[in-house]
Structure 1
């Protein structure tokens, strides 16, 4: 399908957010709608930059409270202003809700596609890449015609994992679909330390296997994006994923479920018998 739509992976290969270590503040990060005591969001992010000893090349700002206010009437206006701020990647979140809960996209067969195409064309003119989040299969397939979409979330929010509501790291199947369509599979933010008091999640929120989080992030070829509190970042563990300058040492192919385990579903009523992944690197 990538050949049929002449999709290029040029933007994915050179996307700074995929190739270098960054910092995330979305749902699962310590500073998701949460700041250090006594200071505002901007001051907290400045402290993250100066007090976390990692070679961070970018920061993801999730909340509207973190973003400058500008004219977002048209994509070209928004992206022009955002580029001026220093934006290198635009995350289009809540794609499922904007498609399912918005009557015009449910009744006009062309409107949803036109929306995504215009977004992608504007991003290409300005030189920005795009990440899809909470996307439906139709959005991933649409990205075949939008080369500026370089990555897509293939998991629920990390907060689901911290609150003990599900195994959020299991992306072996969804990563297959994303990569087949030319997108790097993104598994969201993570903690590098098990317990981080004062987070916006339940009091006993815990990351049981932080090294697994770092490993999955690295081998998925996606952004490696810790979201720890300033004093709870395990820089020693995180730096195992990259060079001293932050360049991620990732494989050539994303981590995905092995075919044998997928085929076994047919003999177990569609229930997975475990998680067993593989990847590949050409030397």
Structure 2
């Protein structure tokens, strides 16, 4: 909306137009957003990340399940002597330091073959086993250098990873449902909800002031209820100030700012 002032000077007319309610232009010029765009904007972006995590967990679980199956089908038990133990500090390609725990073992297969290997173990196994100990191990009949220092460890790891996989998938399903419900509510509010012009109360920082750099628009509705926009970087709301008019749509659960979900098609 604009105020137009007409002033006359000899021989010509000057029209002065002063723009007003620039924030409302931002509201009304925002095209309607699709349900998919709103889904990702309202938390759905987490779902692909969770699914990637689920795929990684599944990959590790499948490896341990396969190893557990091999030791169950082709594993043989024997006694191994711990000749020595040591650990090494190594660096990953990213520059992160990690510790590799090693046991030097000597054992004999049921076929009489003497085997000496250096086996990497977990820190718990490393601390539990001392040099000179005799421990039970399981080796593969057709590959006796492949062993389990703790019998059944692959099955235990597979079980833990399957539990982790179930948790990640459950989170992905929950986030899908939450984001889809929010997106549907926003779409329904834009299509069927009451369209109201409200006044901006403040631009409020979201989360902890020290950690968060995102802000929200806070407004007051005719019902007395306070509404809030989606959070954005502070620079996105740099031109907003208290008292500016905003267009909102009333949904079943909350109100939605037209600048977030798009204005209703005329």
TM-score (norm 2): 0.18
TM-score (norm 1): 0.17
